[in-house]
Chain A
Amino acid sequence: MEKQLLAPELWVERYGAELYGFALRRVHTADCSEELVQETLLSALSALDSYRGEASERTWLFVILRRKIIDHYRREARSPLVPLGEADEETQYFYSENGHWREEQYPRAWNMPADDVLAQQELSEALQLCQEKLPARHGAVFTMRFVDELSAEEICQELGLTPSNYWVLVHRAKLHLRKCLEKNWFGQHRAA
């Protein structure tokens, strides 16, 4: 197979927007995404010699970006380190005595916009905003599981979590997210 050549002077034009879009879906803020794109291109530049030309230039850059994003999650997940179980977030949703739903937290019916493209787009935006509001560790776990579809084993390894802590975080992230969406989106659209 012919060895692929690198053309760093064209990276920004060729892949800049795509790399940025990829990062933005995973870290949500524009600043942070720009920083990740910048770090990716600069690391790639200093690793030009290690490029063996087996993968395409584009694939190679995305591998580097993915690595940067995981490092970012790891930093985020580390701070602030609240031991799990101490702040028992689930009691916000369930009675601690018997584990039943609290009345004010009963999951309500959601009206889904079926064919309304604009409403679906708004829903996606609302979801994005709710994801941003998740605490750092919940957000990292959530994105790795549901956006990147990594396995539980991989996520635990990357973030240094035990499997049971991991599931607790997934559960909490889902509880927070569905509540946030119910309040900020389905709540508004129920009356309509």
Chain B
Amino acid sequence: MLNCRQATLLIERTAGQLPRCGTLLPLRVHLRLCPLCSRYEQQTHLLARLVRYPAGHGPVQLREAFKTQLREQIRQRLRPE
């Protein structure tokens, strides 16, 4: 019988993989019996989605001073020796 620590580790290991025959049975059994780990499982998938698709931020801008500095560096390097 898996404990919660092992079950949550296994949830991470198997996320996004096709279940291989037999290997997931102990996890499925644990999740049927343990509402805490079931909740962990749902939330951990949700977290992965949130990280992958963060809610809309506008496009970022470069600081003007940084842009000037970069342009200057590029200009200097391009100048023929």
* A interface list, Cβ under 8 A from B: 8-9, 11-12, 16-18, 20-21, 24-25, 34, 37-38, 41-42, 45-46, 90, 93-94, 98-101, 106-110, 112, 117, 120-121, 123-124, 127-128, 131, 142, 146-147, 149, 167-168, 170-171, 174-175, 177-178, 181
In whole angstroms, how far apart are the Cα atoms of A37 and B51 in the complex? 22
Q: Are B78 and A25 in contact (CB under 8 A)?
A: no
Q: Are B4 and A99 in contact (CB under 8 A)?
A: yes
A-B contacts counted at CB < 8 A amount to 113
* B interface list, Cβ under 8 A from A: 3-6, 8-9, 12-13, 36, 39-40, 43-44, 46-48, 50-52, 54-57, 59-63, 66-67, 70-71, 73-75, 77-78
In whole angstroms, how far apart are the Cα atoms of A45 and B74 in the complex? 8
Q: Are B55 and A120 in contact (CB under 8 A)?
A: yes
The interface residues of chain A, by DSSP majority, are classed as helix
Q: Are B8 and A175 in contact (CB under 8 A)?
A: yes
Are A131 and B51 also in contact (CB < 8 A) when A94-B4, A178-B43 are?
yes
Q: Are A9 and B78 in contact (CB under 8 A)?
A: yes
Q: Which of B9, B57, B77 meets A121, CB within 8 Å? A: B57
- What is the CB-to-nearest-CB distance from A154 to chain B, in angstroms, rounded to a whole number? 15
Q: Are A12 and B12 in contact (CB under 8 A)?
A: no
Chain B residues in 8 Å Cβ range of A142: 51
Chain A residues in 8 Å Cβ range of B12: 167, 170-171, 174
Known A123-B50, A127-B51, A128-B54; further 14 A-B contacts with Cβ < 8 A? A12-B67, A12-B74, A42-B77, A90-B5, A100-B3, A107-B43, A110-B46, A117-B56, A146-B48, A146-B52, A167-B12, A167-B13, A168-B9, A178-B40
- What is the CB-to-nearest-CB distance from B40 to chain A, in angstroms, rounded to a whole number? 5
Q: Are B55 and A21 in contact (CB under 8 A)?
A: no
- What is the CB-to-nearest-CB distance from B70 to chain A, in angstroms, rounded to a whole number? 5
- What is the CB-to-nearest-CB distance from A59 to chain B, in angstroms, rounded to a whole number? 19
Q: Are B73 and A42 in contact (CB under 8 A)?
A: yes
Q: Are B77 and A25 in contact (CB under 8 A)?
A: no
- What is the CB-to-nearest-CB distance from A85 to chain B, in angstroms, rounded to a whole number? 13
Q: Are A12 and B71 in contact (CB under 8 A)?
A: yes
Are A123 and B9 also in contact (CB < 8 A) when A8-B74, A11-B74 are?
no
Query: Who on chain B is nearest to A34 by CB?
Result: B66
